Amino acid sequence: MKEYKFTDKKDTRSGFGAGLYELGNKNKNVVAMCADLTGSLKMNEFANKFPERFFQAGIAEANMVGVAAGLTIGNKIPFIGTFAAFATGRVYDQIRQSVAYSNKNVKICASHAGLTLGEDGATHQILEDIGLMKMLPNMTVIVPCDYNQTKAATIAIADYKGPVYLRFGRPKVPNFTDENQKFEIGKAINLNKGTDVSIFATGHMVWEAIEAAKILEKQKISAEIINIHTIKPLDKKSILQSVEKTKAVVVAEEHMINGGLGDSIAQLLASKNPKPIEFVGVNDTFGESGTPDKLMEKYGLKAKNIVDAVNKVISRK
Partner 1 sequence: MEDIKKLQEISSQVRRDILRMVHQNASGHPGGALGCADFFTCLYFSVLNQNPKKFTVNDNGEDLFFLSNGHLSAVWYSVLARAGYFNINELKTFRSINSRLQGHPTTAEGLEGIRIASGSLGQGLSNALGAALAKKLNNDKNLVYSLHGDGELQEGQIWEAAMFANAHKIDNIISTIDYNKKQIDGSTDNVITLGDLHAKWESFGWLVFETDGNNIKELLKTLNKAKQNTFKGKPIVIIMKTEMGMGVDFMMGTHKWHGSAPNDEQLAKALSQLKETLGDY
5-13, 62-70, 113-121, 276-284 -> range binding partner 1 (CB under 8 A): 62-70
The answer to whether residue 55 forms part of the interface with partner 1 (CB under 8 A) is yes
The answer to whether residue 247 forms part of the interface with partner 1 (CB under 8 A) is no
Sequence letter at residue 153 = A
CB atoms within 10 A of CB 25: 11
Q: What is the dihedral of CA 259, 265, 270, 276, to 10 degrees?
A: -110
SS3 label, residue 177: coil
Between CA 294 and CA 272 the distance in angstroms is 38
Identity of the residue, 40 or 103, whose beta carbon is nearer to partner 1 in the bound complex:
103
Q: Which of 39, 73, 123, 294 binds partner 1 (CB under 8 A)?
A: 73
The answer to whether residue 267 forms part of the interface with partner 1 (CB under 8 A) is no
CB atoms within 10 A of CB 60: 13
Sorted by sequence, the CB contacts under 8 Å of residue 104 that are 6+ apart come out as 68, 69, 72, 73, 98, 163
The answer to whether residue 78 forms part of the interface with partner 1 (CB under 8 A) is yes
In whole angstroms, the minimum distance from the beta carbon of 93 to partner 1 comes to: 5
Length reported for the chain: 317
The answer to whether residue 96 forms part of the interface with partner 1 (CB under 8 A) is yes
The answer to whether residue 272 forms part of the interface with partner 1 (CB under 8 A) is no
Instruction: Cite the beta strand spans of the chain per DSSP E.
Output: 9-11, 30-34, 54-56, 77-83, 107-111, 140-142, 164-167, 172-174, 189-192, 197-201, 223-227, 230-232, 249-256, 277-282
In whole angstroms, the minimum distance from the beta carbon of 23 to partner 1 comes to: 15
In whole angstroms, the minimum distance from the beta carbon of 291 to partner 1 comes to: 34
Q: Which of 20, 37, 41, 65 binds partner 1 (CB under 8 A)?
A: 65
66-74, 141-149, 176-184, 211-219 -> range binding partner 1 (CB under 8 A): 66-74
Binding positions for partner 1, 2-31, rule CB under 8 A: 31
Identity of the residue, 108 or 113, whose beta carbon is nearer to partner 1 in the bound complex:
108
The footprint of partner 1 (CB under 8 A) covers 31, 52-53, 55-58, 60, 62-76, 78, 93-94, 96-98, 101-104
